[in-house]
Structure 1
Amino acid sequence: MSRELRGVLFDLDGTLLDTAPDMHAALTVLLAENDRPPLPFEAVRNHVSHGSQALVQLGFPDVEGARRETLKQRYLEIYARDLCIDTALFPGLGPVLDACEQRGWPLGVVTNKPAWLTEPLLETLGLSPRLAAIVSGDTLPQRKPDPEPMWLAARQTGLPPEQLCYWGDAERDIAAGRAAGMATLVARWGYIDASQNPDTWGADGTLDRPDDFWRWHQAKADPQWLAS
């Protein structure tokens, strides 16, 4: 099977969309409801890819068990209410999406975010019609780093995994893509804190900005790599 790339899949939070402003805002409301001071944006940003559980834990480190679960559910209510106030594509991704479409490449999203948040977010931003594949965290029993969501996305695009490239900003993204047989790229603009070292994740490459993809693609588009 040829490894020539013919489509691109993205993680959602921290790779395709900058959701941190709205997720931070929701945590700020939750903290205020519980008479706690807000956390600085930069202290919250790099936890966003780990979801609501991680954000509630960050804001309420002394709360556990049923109380933490109650806080998480309240956080999700607040976030869903103002899901797309300041969320947007990361700078530079619009032209990449346009160029992929001009090539006839299908695009897709594979995220651990639940569908009841993923789908309205993509719809609000006008991205849904542009995506051949949308796999959310509750679409299947398995979630990343399991490869099953990746394989489902490949089937939705109509391409074999070997002809897809997956971009992500978390180690589980790269693990899932690798396990599925896809090329993998680290989105360094994402929610990666200083304790993480993406160079150890085993990705096929790293991108400092979205349009670096074309230089990476050109460098990899040689007969030796395509036949490997």
Structure 2
Amino acid sequence: MSGSLHGVLFDLDGTLLDTAPDMHGALDRLMLEHGRDPLAFAAVRDHVSNGSNALVRLGFPDADPVLRETLKRRYLEIYADNLCLTTALFPGLPDLLAEMEARDLRLGVVTNKPSWLTKPLLDALGLTPRLATIVSGDTLPQRKPAPEPMWLAAKQAGARPDRFVYIGDAERDIAAGRAAGMRTLVADWGYIDASENPAAWQADARLQAPADFWPWLDSLAGVRRCLAS
């Protein structure tokens, strides 16, 4: 185990997995079904972490609430049928996870994605057996930014919340981790819109790339040594 850190919890979309191409593809199909020109990938990518509601609003900004709900159901049908065509771990994540496991850190996922999408996706990528905990958006009545999903993940992974760090690419991720008493890191490689200001989220640090986790962990150990001396 690395110092006082027991484990690392990840957000899913935009942090652990690059799901944007498949989620964009589902929106493309939905828009074509309704005679609309698909949106460019660049216009969709940074909205993926906000889920199906945000994507449907993006593609159909003029839809009323009733139609929007119908479109959302159809979007999820399309996405579920094309869940893992190109989705993969972000570059650098395979090595990071392997090294975390080698250092005996417990791994987990806390996501607002529903379990009926989360579980098949993690299964398809062979990640489920490697995770000590998977908390989805429908596991509890509460979802991020509430702390309850984080507390459950820590309990399932076998340690107090303050023994975990949570990595995410959205303000609600950092808010949830902080509220749960965890350290928090922003995944700068994720789906962060240009209008957002991650520097204001009050995370412990920002990682430009997955490998930046290790310098951050080393700095944390250095702070502990200073405090102990």
Whether the TM-score (by the shorter chain) exceeds 0.5 is yes
Alpha-carbon separation, structure 1, partners of 2:196 and 2:209: 18
Q: Which residue of 2 aligns with 1:186?
A: 186
Instruction: State how many pairs are aligned.
Output: 225
Q: What residue identity is the alignment partner of 1:46?
A: D
Counterparts of residues 1-228 of structure 1 (less than 5 Å): 4-222=4-222, 223=224
C-alpha separation in 2, matches of 1:126 and 1:170: 25
Task: With the length of structure 1 as denominator, give the TM-score of the two structures.
Answer: 0.97
Cα distance 1:185–1:225, how it changes in 2: closer, same or farther (>3 A)? Answer: farther
SS in structure 1 opposite 2:129?
Answer: helix
Closer/same/farther in 2, CA of residues 187 and 225 from structure 1, 3 Å limit: farther
Q: Secondary structure at the match of 1:47?
A: helix
- Cα distance, 1:212 vs. partner? 0.2
Shift of 1:226: 7.3
Q: Is residue 189–residue 209 contact of structure 1 (8 Å, CA) maintained in 2?
A: yes
Structure 2 gaps of 5+ residues are: none
Which structure 1 segments of 5+ residues have no match?
A: none
The one-letter code matched in structure 1 to 2:188 is R
Separation of aligned partners in 1, 2:15 and 2:40: 21
Residue deviations 1:42-96, cap 9 Å, x none? 0000000000000000000000211110000000000000000000000000111
CA contact (8 A) 1:11 1:110 kept: yes
Alpha-carbon offset, residue 224 of structure 1 = 6.1
Amino acid paired to 1:220: L
* Equivalent position SS for 1:211: helix
Q: Which moved more, 1:215-224 or 1:71-80?
A: 215-224
Q: Structure 1, residues 93-148: CA drift from partner, whole Å, max 9, x if none?
A: 01110011111111000000000000000000000000001000000000000000
Measured against aligned partners, the alpha-carbon deviations of 1:141-189 in whole angstroms (never above 9, x if no partner) come to: 0000000000000001001111100000000000000000000000000
1:117 partner letter:
L
Q: Is the 8 A contact 1:4 1:226 kept in 2?
A: no
Matches of 1:74 and 1:6, distance apart in 2: 41
Distance 1:224 1:69 in 2: 54
Q: Which amino acid aligns with 1:122?
A: L
The CA RMSD over aligned residues, in Å, is 1.2
